[in-house]
Every structure is written in structure tokens, then in C-alpha cells.
Amino acid sequence: MNMPVWLEKTEYSLLPQAATRRRRADYLEKTLADVQKTMAEELDYTASAVRPGLLQQLNPRVKLVGMAFVLLAVALTGSLTVLVIIHGLLLLAALSSRIGWKAYLLRTWLPAVLFTGLTMLPGIFNWFTPGQPLVIIYQGLNWHVGPVTLPAELTITMQGLTVATLVLLRSAASLGVAVLLVKTTRWPVLTKALAGLGLPGLFVTVLDLTYRYLFLFLLLLSEYLWGRQSRLAGRERTGAKWEWIGGAVAGFLRLAGEYSREITASMQARGYNGSNHQVLVSRIGMADIWFFALTVLLLAATLGGTQLVRIHGV
């Protein structure tokens, strides 16, 4: 079949002048940028996990157990001082593991403040947590909002602020432990360590596959977004983006289904029976013994301190 006449014509001409006014990226462009950023961050996590540093050199199982002790201490303590000390230790561990303080604080405090902080915010007021007033916002007023009469005073209470700070510090410390763990341990090593500590093989396999295929799907999503972008030869009509999103979601579900069937078949072909046979070769050194001892000490001190507070009401 001959080439269509219109396709035989090739026109080379200059491009028009691009507008100098800045336009904000639309949500699909932002999604593409975010996907790229997430993949770069994932690569950064892997690079950080193999960097020489304090936590990177530890035996992954010892590190996992030690971090679990720290988490336990964070959950059990009711003392703000102990929590501040734990935060200090976590920051020190981050710096010694060559994780920049900015990166560490951003990943722990930003989500903690945004999620836990905002959730706990109402709790600092006397309407939710009665107690000793610390800051009086108003007092002795008789305000009505429609049929509702507001309480005569609004104050920030000592008890409310203490509880909110405690929860916020606990949440940030827990996030800090998680950040340190994933930034200093490669994911496959972490899952092998979990398997070594008795997590069933099926869960470990699911965790491994999830991680592996999340990355693959992010890559695929980038290609989808680029594929669409490369074919936008004119102004999009209204609703075209939504049609594309619908098509892309359907395409993804179909591909995910195809992948999962093929993965299952290939695993079965290699004799997979639900158990995980990955071997983690790692020795226990002096650094591991020190780390373990310190975390046990921290947990014991926290438990001891908590008991003292209970007995003596300090």
C-alpha cells in the first residue's frame, strides 16, 4: 500500500515563541514530577543504606531487635524528659549514620506535626481536656453560635498541652526509628532479617514483591504520563484528562493482573510452596553487642523510671 499523500509531505519550520509568563504545572505534570521524585528518593535510600555509618555496619537482626526496644521504650514512657533524650539519641544516630540532620528532621517532624500535631491540637484546650489554665484565650463571655451556647471560657490547659506534647513526641520518635531503619538497611536485607526473626515466609515474599513491583509500577506510570504528554499535539478538550486517567487506571489494573498471574506462574514453576528460603549472611560484631546493650539499657531505664513514677507518683 502506498504512503498517503499527506504523509509524504514533510514540513520543517521554526517553532513559535514560547510564552514568557510562568504557568503552573497541571496535576498530571505534578504527578509525573512526584513519581520522578519518589523514584529518586528510593534510589537515595538505597545509596544511604550502603554508605559506611554507625547503623549501616550493624547486623540487621540486631538492629531490628534494638530498634524494637527503642520503640517499646517510646511507647511505655510517660516522661517528656525521657522522650526528649530518646530524640537526642536518635538524632545522634542519624548523624553518625551519615543521614543529614535536615533530611532526618524533615522526614520525622513534618509528618508528625502535620498528622499527629493537627489531630492533637483540639486536645490542648479546656473544652476537651479540662485542667489548670496555662493560656487564657477568652473568659467570662457568653457567646452563641446559632442555637449553641459556647462555654464561658477557652483556655489552653497544662494537662492538655502535656498530653498533646507527649503524643507528638512519641509519634515523631516512632517515625524517627522507622526512618533510621529504612535509611540504613536495604529493603531486601530488612525483609530477610524479619524472616530470620520468625516472620512467616509468605509475608516476607509479599513484602519483597510489593517493594519490587511498586518501583516497577512507578516506572510504568512515568512512561504512561510521558506517553500521553508526547502526543498532546494541541489543546486538550474538556474532560480529556479525566478520560485518560480512567483509561490509565484500567490499563494499570489489567497490567497488574497480567503481572501477578505471570509472577505466580513463574514462582510455581520454580517450586514455590509458600516458604521463604532466602539466606542472610551476617555476623555479630562488637558494634552489635554495644548497640544491643545500649538499647536494652534504654528500655530498662525507661521501664524502671515509669515504675518509679507509678510507685512514688513523681
Partner 1 sequence: MFESMVFDLRDVHYNYRPGEASLVNINLQIMAGERVVLLGPNGCGKSTLQKVLAGLIFPQGEVRAFGSAITAHGMRDKDFAAAFRRKVGFVFQNADVQIFCASVLDEIMFGPLSMGMSVAEARDRAEDLLEHVGITALADRLPHHLSGGEKKKVAIAAVLAVNPAVLILDEPTNGLDPRTQRWMLDTLAELSAAGKTIITATHQLDIVPELAGKVVVMGESHTILAEGGPTKVLGDRELLLAANLIDERYHVHIHGGDGHVHIHQHLSEGERK
Binding site for partner 1 (CB under 8 A): 1-4, 6-19, 22-25, 29, 36, 39-40, 43-44, 47, 220, 223-224, 226-237, 240, 244, 247-248, 251, 254-255
Task: Estimate the share of the chain in helix, then strand, then coil, as percent rounded to the nearest 5.
Answer: 65, 5, 30
Q: What is the amino acid identity at position 139?
A: Q
Half-sphere exposure of residue 188: CA atoms within 13 angstroms, side-chain side: 10
Nearer to partner 1, 43 or 110 (CB): 43
Q: Which residues of 181-204 are buried (b: 16+ CB within 10 A; e: fewer)?
A: bebbbbbebbbbbbbbeeeeeeeb
Cα separation, 212 vs 232, whole angstroms = 31
Give CA–CA dist 142/281, Å, rounded. Answer: 70
CB of 142 to partner 1, least distance (A): 55
Nearer to partner 1, 19 or 148 (CB): 19
Q: How near is the Cβ of 1 to partner 1 at its closest, in Å?
A: 5
CB of 312 vs partner 1, minimal distance in Å: 53
Cβ at position 187, least distance to partner 1 in Å: 17
Considering the complex, state which of residue 203 and residue 226 has its C-beta at the smaller distance from partner 1.
Answer: 226
Of the two residues 8 and 81, which places its CB atom closer to partner 1 in the complex?
8
In the bound complex, what is the minimum distance in angstroms from residue 27's beta carbon to partner 1? 13
- Which residue, 109 or 241, is less far from partner 1 as judged by CB? 241
Distance CA 150, CA 148 (A): 6
